C-alpha cells in the first residue's frame, strides 16, 4: 500500500514539476549563484514547483456507451416479448401492444436506426423506461386488477384502462419516432446547404 502510494507520487505531476525546479536549483548552484545555501535553494525550488504543478486529472467513471445501452434495452425487449406472450390479454389491447413492441424493435434495430437513436440520450432513456417499466407495469396491473374485478364487478373495466395506457405509450412512441425523423431531416438540410454554399464559393 505504502509502496504503491510512493510509486504514484514519483509519477505524479507534483514530483515531476518539483524535480524540474530542483534541477534548476542545482544549475544555479553549479553557476555559483546559490552559494552556501544551495540545499535550501534546491528544496525551495522543488517545493515551489510541486505547488504550482497542475492538479492530477481524475478520469471519469467508465459508463456504458450508447451502443451498449441499446444492446441491454434490446435484450430487455426480448424478455418483455416473452413475458407478454404468457399473459392473456383482450384482443384489442393485444393488437395494440404488438404494434407498440414492433415500433420499439424497429427503433432498436442494430443498423443505422439504432445509431440515430444512440445520438439522443433522452430518446434512449424514454425507450428504456417504456420497455423496462411502463409496458410491464401496464400488463401487470391489468392482470391484478382483472382478478379483483371478478370478485367485485362494477366500475371502469381493467381492459379499458389497459387500452388507454397503451394508447398513451403509442402516442409517445410516435412522437419519439417523429423527433428522430426530424433530426435526420435537419441533418439532410444542413448538408444540402453546405454543398450549395461550397458550390457558390
137-168: string of b/e by CB count within 10 Å (b at 16+)? ebbeebeebbeeeeeeeeeeebbebbbebbee
DSSP state of 11: T
* 45 Cβ neighbours under 8 A, 6+ residues apart: 21, 22, 24, 25
pLDDT for position 150? 67
CA distances from 70 to 12, 60, 64, 179 (A): 38, 21, 10, 18
For the segment 134-181, what is each residue's pLDDT rounded down to a tens digit? Answer: 999 999 999 888 876 765 666 678 899 999 999 999 999 999 999 988
* Cβ atoms of 93 and 159 closer than 8 Å: yes
For the segment 116-136, what is each residue's pLDDT rounded down to a tens digit? Answer: 888 888 899 999 999 999 999
For the segment 10-54, what is each residue's pLDDT rounded down to a tens digit? Answer: 566 776 766 777 777 667 666 666 666 667 766 776 777 677 666
Q: What is the largest CA-CA distance in the chain?
A: 102
pLDDT for position 103? 95
pLDDT for position 166? 96
d(CA 105, CA 164): 21
Amino acid at each position: 500500500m505504502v509502496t504503491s502510494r510512493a510509486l504514484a507520487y514519483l509519477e505524479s505531476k507534483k514530483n515531476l514539476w518539483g524535480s524540474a525546479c530542483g534541477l534548476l536549483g542545482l544549475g544555479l548552484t553549479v553557476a555559483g549563484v546559490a552559494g552556501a545555501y544551495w540545499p535550501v535553494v534546491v528544496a525551495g525550488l522543488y517545493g515551489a514547483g510541486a505547488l504550482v504543478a497542475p492538479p492530477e486529472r481524475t478520469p471519469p467513471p467508465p459508463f456504458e456507451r450508447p451502443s451498449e445501452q441499446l444492446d441491454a434495452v434490446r435484450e430487455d425487449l426480448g424478455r418483455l416479448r416473452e413475458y407478454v406472450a404468457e399473459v392473456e390479454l383482450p384482443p384489442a389491447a393485444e393488437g395494440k401492444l404488438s404494434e407498440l413492441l414492433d415500433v420499439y424493435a424497429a427503433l432498436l434495430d442494430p443498423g443505422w436506426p439504432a445509431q440515430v437513436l444512440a445520438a439522443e440520450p433522452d430518446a434512449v432513456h424514454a425507450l428504456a423506461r417504456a420497455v423496462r417499466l411502463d409496458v410491464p407495469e401496464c400488463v401487470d396491473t391489468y392482470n391484478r386488477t382483472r382478478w379483483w374485478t371478478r370478485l367485485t364487478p362494477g366500475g371502469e373495466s381493467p381492459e379499458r384502462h389497459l387500452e388507454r395506457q397503451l394508447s398513451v405509450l403509442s402516442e409517445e412512441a410516435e412522437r419519439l419516432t417523429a423527433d428522430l425523423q426530424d433530426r435526420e431531416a435537419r441533418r439532410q438540410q444542413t448538408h444540402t446547404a453546405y454543398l450549395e454554399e461550397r458550390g457558390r464559393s
